[in-house]
Chains A and B, each alone.
Chain A
Amino acid sequence: MAAIYSLYVINKSGGLIFYKDYGSAGRMDTNDSLRMASLWHSMHAISQQLSPISGCSGIELLQADTFDLHCFQSLTGTKFFVVCDPGTQHMEGLLKHIYELYTDYVLKNPFYEMEMPIRCELFDIKLSQAIQKDSVALLSR
């Protein structure tokens, strides 16, 4: 019973800087996850061009047949998106929380180089705690 299937973080130029899988069937290999990330980056940009009203900031929620994809874009262009079960609630909150963790444990890490893949132990730990807490909260609901 996985509520959240995977989490991606893409930098402002569409490169995948973080990917974590939480038990989706048929794991994606590294090349595929990189392709997915840059494909999503482009789709996000095209959706802004097709908007009938000005001020569009890209896709926030994609509802597929077997999953929902929630996307959050920070002001600097970094995109966070989670793949979860259809109809999972409170994903915006989780994404904001993940963004907070990113600013605290990645951006404030003096050894982290901007726009490069994230390799920060503390971020990993805090992230798995947040996801776990979220799935526990989901189970109790």
Chain B
Amino acid sequence: MQFFGSSEISPSPPAPTASGNNAHMMYVFNRNGVCLLYREWNRPLRTLDAQQDQKLMFGLLFSLKSLTAKMDPTTAEKGNLGVPQLPGQGCSFHSFRTNTYKLSFMETPSGIKLILVTHPRTGDLREPLKYIYNLYVEYVAKNPLYTPGTPIKCELFNTSLDQYVRSIA
């Protein structure tokens, strides 16, 4: 749904880095930990029900962020472990890799967290995540029918996300 003429999404999508279907799933959380979007493309293994899974994912990211903020070896002033920090404050992380998947993470200044889970050998996804955030701004944040903090039910966003993710991973 585009209400404001033919506004172009900027920047233009980064060049495709892979072709195929290597993306597993995508999560979008807001700053309160509410899961705004969960999208799944290829997930053979489910250990928990959807809500528990989302809570666990948010908890993992939250704790990993406090771990990296405390571990940061380049600054002396780090505060105590586990003290909540504002988005952009302290040392954060952008991805981690296990033998079965790679998780790429981006947090915007407003506290929106974008998480993309892909094949472990996927390259750096920081730029693609920025582009996905652009899609979010264009199709969700600018949608007058969307109430902030509620699950995203915007077809245009979902289709463009599917299309884009298929082109990058």
A residues contacting B by CB (< 8 A) are: 2, 5-6, 24-26, 28, 32, 35-36, 39-40, 42-43, 46-67, 69, 83
Can you list 30 A-B pairs with a CB-CB distance of less than 8 A?
Answer: A24-B74, A32-B81, A39-B63, A43-B60, A43-B63, A43-B64, A46-B56, A47-B96, A49-B56, A52-B24, A52-B44, A52-B45, A52-B117, A53-B45, A53-B100, A53-B101, A54-B44, A54-B100, A56-B98, A59-B96, A59-B98, A62-B64, A62-B93, A62-B96, A63-B97, A64-B71, A65-B72, A66-B75, A67-B68, A69-B71
- Least distance between B94 CB and chain A CB atoms (Å): 6
Indicate if B67 sits at the interface (CB-CB under 8 A): yes
User: Given A24-B73, A64-B71, does the pair A55, B99 have CB atoms closer than 8 Å?
Assistant: yes
A-B contact count (CB 8 A): 123
With contacts A52-B25, A62-B96 taken as known, whether A46 is within 8 angstroms of B60 at the C-beta atoms is yes
A83/B91 contact (C-beta < 8 A), A39-B63, A46-B56, A47-B96 known:
no
What does DSSP make chain A's interface, helix, strand, loop or mixed? Answer: mixed
Q: How far is the CA of A54 from the CA of B74 in the complex (A)?
A: 36
Contacts of B44 in A (CB 8 A): 52-54
Binding site for A on B (CB under 8 A): 24-25, 42-45, 47-48, 53, 56-57, 59-60, 63-64, 66-68, 70-78, 81, 91-101, 103, 117
Q: When the two chains form the complex, which single residue of A54, A57, A66 contacts B72, counting CB atoms closer than 8 Å?
A: A66
CA gap between A49 and B99 in the complex, in Å:
13
Q: Return the chain B residue nearest A22 by Cβ.
A: B73
In the complex, A58 Cα to B120 Cα: how many Å?
12
Is A55 a contact partner of B100 (Cβ separation < 8 A)?
yes
B93 & A65 in contact (Cβ 8 Å cutoff): yes
Smallest CB-CB separation from B97: which chain A residue?
A61
The reply to whether B68 and A62 contact each other, CB–CB distance below 8 Å, is yes
CB contacts (< 8 Å) of A39 on chain B: these are 63, 66-67, 81
Taking a contact as CB atoms closer than 8 A, the residue among A25, A36, A43 that contacts B81 in the complex is A36
Q: Which residues of B contact A25 (CB under 8 A)?
A: 73-76
Give CA–CA (A56, B43) in the complex, Å: 13
Docked complex Cα distance between A46 and B78 (Å): 25
Q: For residue B73, which residues in chain A have a CB less than 8 angstroms away from its CB?
A: 2, 5-6, 24-25, 66-67, 83
Q: How far is the CA of A59 from the CA of B100 in the complex (A)?
A: 9
Closest 4 CB pairs of A and B: A24-B73, A26-B76, A5-B73, A52-B24
Chain B residues with CB under 8 A of A48: 98
Contact of B78 with A26 in the complex, beta carbons under 8 Å:
yes
